Structure 1
Amino acid sequence: MESEQWNHDQHSEEIEAMCRSKAEEFRLLGYEYVTSKDIWDCISRNYDKDGMPPLHKLVNDIYSLKANSYMTYLTLAAYRGLN
């Protein structure tokens, strides 16, 4: 059976499209200034310790991101001075 590991560069366009889709969803909900980079920054902070997850988990993390979780991330980032 093939390994679940994947090459980030190989899938970067697809990941960007998923993040762009999620940002558009948030804009429809009234969060006007969300970008795909913002979505990626929010999602990828969870991968600092363990590295990139399998592709199916990454897709799930992007598409299951809730606006409330994103706003919590922004709030904590503002308190830490990261944003």
Structure 2
Amino acid sequence: MGMEELDENYLEEAVEMLCRSKAEELRMVGYEHVTSKDVWDCVSEKYEKEGIPPLHKLVNDILSLKATNFMNYLTMSALRGSTFE
């Protein structure tokens, strides 16, 4: 296992941990069924055009996600026909 692969795995785990933390925060304010995947899908939606940003911006985007922005994302996804479990 190379150093680059190890670093990539570490970063993926760190991002997953941040998304889990944000999902827990959203559950505390009433979004009972939020998962870390939901948080990642919401945050990463804007990266589809731009590509993945630098790590500091990625971390900031996850940690600064507001419940209202998450709700807007869920609403727009539902209108587009996406399903959430």
* Structure 1 segments (4+ residues) deviating >4 Å: 7-10
Query: Residue 12 of structure 1 corresponds to which residue in structure 2?
Result: 12
Residue identity opposite 1:78 in structure 2: A
Query: Residue 81 of structure 1 corresponds to which residue in structure 2?
Result: 81
Query: Residue 34 of structure 2 corresponds to which residue in structure 1?
Result: 34
- Structure (1/2) with the larger helix percentage: 2
TM-score for both structures, normalised by structure 1: 0.87
C-alpha RMSD over aligned residues: 1.2
Identity of aligned residues (%): 60
How many pairs does the alignment contain? 77
Task: With a CA cutoff of 8 Å and minimum separation of 6, indicate the structure with the bigger relative contact order.
Answer: 1
Structure 1 gaps of 5+ residues are 1-6
TM-score for both structures, normalised by structure 2: 0.85
